Structure 1
Amino acid sequence: MKTRIIHFFEVLSSNFWVIPLLLLISGAGLAFLNVYLDKTLYARHIELPELYLYFNSASNIRTLLSVSATSILGVAGVSFSITIASLTLASQQFGPRLLRNFMSDRFNQLVLGCFIGTFLYCILMLQFTGSMELDKTTPFFSMMSLLTILIFNLLLLVFFIHHIAVAIQAETVITEVNNELVTQMNCTFPNKADKNSQSIQLDIPDDLTKKFEQKGEDIYSTTSGYLQAIDTDNLVKCATDNDYVIKFIIKPGDFILTNSVIAHCLASDQIDEIEKDINTHLLIGSEGTPEQDPEFAVRQLVEVAVRALSPGINDPFTAISCIKKLGENIAFLMQRQFPTQYHLDDSGQLRLELKPFTFRGIVDTSFDQIRQHGKNDIAVVICLLQMLNKLILQSQTKEHMEALKVQAEAISSVNTDDVIALKDKEDIKELYDVINVSLNTKESTLLT
């Protein structure tokens, strides 16, 4: 249930209409509340400030409401046009998958919601004041609220234009994606110093692995799409109640085809029912989400870098910024522990084995495509080698070193073409030699 609730809020956060809808309802509620307060205060003969004299003219009030409604609707249209233009530009420059970040921008949603909420407030107040006896009732609260809202909307418009101008800058986009990546890694990978979140280390018997290979029943997917999340708690409960063990061969972020094998299961019978239960606890959608996929934001940064290296954009500086952010997060990951892939029932028996995320996999996801598309850009190649050297010096395990060494060797091997200037070759070779020295030094340090 917890997984589904998190998934539900993740879907809501990526929808543009949620906050505008709430503010639209708030505008209607404020109109009803103000009319009620105006009539109630007048009925109780509460003394109002002298400012209420400005709201005694029915024609002036309706003119103000009409002008406000017309103007704010025009401003909302202009704001919406600016938003669409910025989304189009972002899609072309940073990739269509980055649109999710712009769609989930709370400030954009707030601005549009305030504008349409104000428009609805004006329309409702026009209706209310049309049937209100102004010689007996002074709409003091209604009009003061309108003036306050209009001033707030004008300020919002100024901030909105500034916000859009900043939001479409490459550095801002990279920073926003990187912040999401940091948040996801903090949630997914616990701190090594936190004893309460230590990963469960299990020695899985070889006979259990052989049983999966020899006797495990294949579990097939009943639908296609991106695996967004796995409801592990309920899966463990189902496996315990029906006495079976599951081993997934897919992980969140993978694309699944209908009738493709997604898991192996050790069970005595009722494999059809088990297959149905397993598919029920998989959240599959038309696009990937970051809730259980730490590589989601990594791929977004990689996409920004790859598009920046395309001939149409040719912006290596943006790609270099992405490399630095990716390196920063890999260094952060070295200080964390990977969550366990094994899930046990209350009696300590293995019930669920997930396909794990690995350090090597995240490093490859971070650098493979950038290396492939940036192999002819010497500045990008040198930045990659420099970043790999820095990461090697911070590596703490042999797994860290091996993953980074593979990337360094791949970069060195593709930059031996004759079209590369001699000086550039020497710079690359010099950096690669530095990396080899760092690898040897670090390896001897780890051995001691």
Structure 2
Amino acid sequence: MSGDNALKTRILHLLELLTVNFWMIPLLFLVMATILSFVNIYLDRVLFTGWGEILPFPFYFKDADNFHSLLSLTASAMLGVTGVAFSITIASLTLASQQFGPRLLRNFMKTQFNQVVMGFFIGTFLYCVLLLQFSSTLEEINLTPVISLTTLLGLIITDLLLLVFFFHHTAMSIQADTIITEVHQELSERLEALFPETLETSEHLPAAALQSQEHERFETQGDVVRVQQAGYLQAIDVTGLRDYVTEQDMALKLAVRPGDFLMQNCGLGWCLNQDALDEAKQAAINSYLIVGNTRTAEQDAEYAVRQLVEIAVRAMSPGINDPFTAITCIDRLGNALAFLLNRQFPAEQYFDENARLRLQLKPFTFSGIMAAAFNQIRQNTAFHVAVIISLLETLRSLAAQARTPEQQSAIRKQADAIHVACQDEIKARADLEDIKACYQAVYRFLPVPSNSQ
């Protein structure tokens, strides 16, 4: 069972990597073009040999020279169009990297429409080249390439339409609103997958009384588990890891979570074990962690959040000075946080059937995600009154929906930090009064802290 879950995690990780590879779909189109050219010429040889003399008009292109000229012309044109499309793609990637940040290149590379267009272009080119080879004896066997020619004409029409749509799509894809919408959509999908709907009960709650006892034992009595491969922690096979430590009669506490960078030989966590933690067990624990050179979004709840933050921070830089883009990012971040207000965060503790703690994870928290969403924007927005007001209005909307003390405390902490940060930077009294009014509006939806007088 543990092996099945580990395989599932590896497969999901592989699919995540394939979605950001630009070559995958074009490669499939090349394979399809190879098969299509062979099948079409074979069917033409079987079905339409000698038909040109019976029905000459529909089969005008049975002439070998005309057919070969059309194939050569199409192949040359497709190669040129592919070069133009590739140049436009590189130019748009360069512009996006400079204005919105290099990490946004991943979103452009995973756009399936661009991959399909490039696949059609190079697939048509390969189809023409292969047909030139397969139909080299066209006149000798009196072959009329009906199916091959019909397919070729269909590909030409499709390529021309795709070229027009490609220009339109490229012009739309480099607009700030489009990029922000796509990043927000990915963020929503990740949050939907990582954070389940709120439940009345949870399986890990009955044994929660053991939390404080085990928490102290891990760091004082546990053996340190070392990292064996440096890089970003991309995913954890939680089910497989839980089953392994249960089978070995161990308890494990991880001090890292997806998105963290692991340094070679640094502490990964602590393990409570009756026997010594040997190299084999260390390697086994590390095998349930997927480590790579870059951060990925598959289990990292803050990945897409940081993409929106990067767009907002760059928009407020002196070279760009676009507060409207920053406000759009804040609106999207606020919507994502509002989604989390009514969601249950994944369990951080896993117990066996005897209510013994087996696995303790480093959890994502609402306050942590809110800090990742707003801290850098707040720190770079001291002079932008409109952005400050947008932050406070977003916090007011979140405060009206907050249900737990943690959520209310995180909102209060952000509101206080924003209000304090702008006091020394904003000089106009009218602006300060507007900011103060928004700040007070946030507190109208928050209960008074218990330690306040």
Pair in the same fold by TM > 0.5: yes
Residues 224, 4 of structure 1: alpha-carbon distance in 2 compared, 3 angstrom cutoff: same
Q: CA deviation at 1:135?
A: 5.2
- Does residue 346 of structure 2 align to residue 323 of structure 1? no
Q: CA deviation at 1:241?
A: 2.1
Separation of aligned partners in 1, 2:202 and 2:353:
18
**Residue pair 1:199, 1:339 contacting (<8 A) in 2 also:** no
Q: CA deviation at 1:42?
A: 2.9
Separation of aligned partners in 2, 1:419 and 1:240:
58
Bigger shift: 365-374 or 427-436? Answer: 427-436
Per the alignment, residue 99 of structure 2 pairs with: 93
- Does residue 227 of structure 2 align to residue 221 of structure 1? yes
Per the alignment, residue 63 of structure 1 pairs with: 69
**Residue pair 1:253, 1:289 contacting (<8 A) in 2 also:** yes
**Residue pair 1:199, 1:337 contacting (<8 A) in 2 also:** no
Per the alignment, residue 18 of structure 1 pairs with: 24
Separation of aligned partners in 1, 2:196 and 2:52:
60
Select 2:296's aligned residue among 281, 289, 297: 289
**Residue pair 2:51, 2:144 contacting (<8 A) in 1 also:** no
Residues 233, 48 of structure 1: alpha-carbon distance in 2 compared, 3 angstrom cutoff: farther
One-letter amino acid matched to 1:161: F
One-letter amino acid matched to 1:286: N
How big is the alpha-carbon RMSD for the aligned residues of Structure 1 and Structure 2?
2.0
**Residue pair 2:190, 2:297 contacting (<8 A) in 1 also:** yes
One-letter amino acid matched to 2:25: I
Q: CA deviation at 1:346?
A: 5.2
Residues 49, 95 of structure 1: alpha-carbon distance in 2 compared, 3 angstrom cutoff: farther
Separation of aligned partners in 2, 1:210 and 1:66:
75
Select 1:313's aligned residue among 320, 329, 333: 320
Residues 138, 430 of structure 1: alpha-carbon distance in 2 compared, 3 angstrom cutoff: same
Separation of aligned partners in 1, 2:425 and 2:318:
21
Q: CA deviation at 1:390?
A: 1.0
Deviations, residues 32-73 of structure 1 (Å, cap 9, x unaligned): 010111011136979997664212211100100000000000
Aligned length: 441
- Does residue 131 of structure 2 align to residue 106 of structure 1? no
| SS across alignment from 1:130 | coil
Q: CA deviation at 1:236?
A: 1.7
Per the alignment, residue 301 of structure 1 pairs with: 308
Deviations, residues 135-177 of structure 1 (Å, cap 9, x unaligned): 5211111111000000000000000000000000000000000
Per the alignment, residue 346 of structure 2 pairs with: 339
Per the alignment, residue 370 of structure 2 pairs with: 363
Deviations, residues 100-152 of structure 1 (Å, cap 9, x unaligned): 00000000000001100100000001111113345521111111100000000
Separation of aligned partners in 2, 1:270 and 1:162:
63
- Does residue 198 of structure 2 align to residue 192 of structure 1? yes
Select 1:28's aligned residue among 31, 34, 37: 34
Select 1:231's aligned residue among 228, 237, 245: 237
Deviations, residues 354-412 of structure 1 (Å, cap 9, x unaligned): 10000000000000000001121111001101111111011111111100000000001
| SS across alignment from 2:378 | helix
| SS across alignment from 1:440 | coil
Residues 242, 419 of structure 1: alpha-carbon distance in 2 compared, 3 angstrom cutoff: closer
Select 2:218's aligned residue among 206, 212, 220: 212
Residues 226, 51 of structure 1: alpha-carbon distance in 2 compared, 3 angstrom cutoff: farther
Per the alignment, residue 254 of structure 1 pairs with: 260
Q: CA deviation at 1:428?
A: 1.1
Per the alignment, residue 203 of structure 1 pairs with: 208
Instruction: Please list every run of at least 4 consecutive aligned residues from structure 1 whose deviation after the TM superposition is greater than 6 angstroms.
Output: 44-50
Q: CA deviation at 1:293?
A: 0.8
Per the alignment, residue 387 of structure 1 pairs with: 394
Q: Report percent identity of matched pairs.
A: 48
Q: CA deviation at 1:237?
A: 2.2
One-letter amino acid matched to 1:208: E
Deviations, residues 188-230 of structure 1 (Å, cap 9, x unaligned): 111115x7x9463241423322221221111111121110001
- Does residue 400 of structure 2 align to residue 396 of structure 1? no
What is the TM-score normalised by the length of structure 1? 0.94
Per the alignment, residue 79 of structure 2 pairs with: 73
Deviations, residues 298-351 of structure 1 (Å, cap 9, x unaligned): 011111101111111111100000000000111111011111012234555332
Residues 359, 14 of structure 1: alpha-carbon distance in 2 compared, 3 angstrom cutoff: same
Residues 132, 345 of structure 1: alpha-carbon distance in 2 compared, 3 angstrom cutoff: farther
- Does residue 443 of structure 2 align to residue 436 of structure 1? yes
Select 2:133's aligned residue among 121, 127, 139: 127
**Residue pair 1:401, 1:439 contacting (<8 A) in 2 also:** yes
Question: What are the within-5 Å matches in structure 2 for residues 1-12 of structure 1?
Answer: 1-12=7-18
One-letter amino acid matched to 1:203: A
In structure 2, runs of 5+ residues without a counterpart are 1-6
| SS across alignment from 1:284 | strand
Per the alignment, residue 242 of structure 1 pairs with: 248
Bigger shift: 235-244 or 405-414? Answer: 235-244
**Residue pair 2:348, 2:360 contacting (<8 A) in 1 also:** yes
| SS across alignment from 1:294 | coil
Residues 142, 383 of structure 1: alpha-carbon distance in 2 compared, 3 angstrom cutoff: same
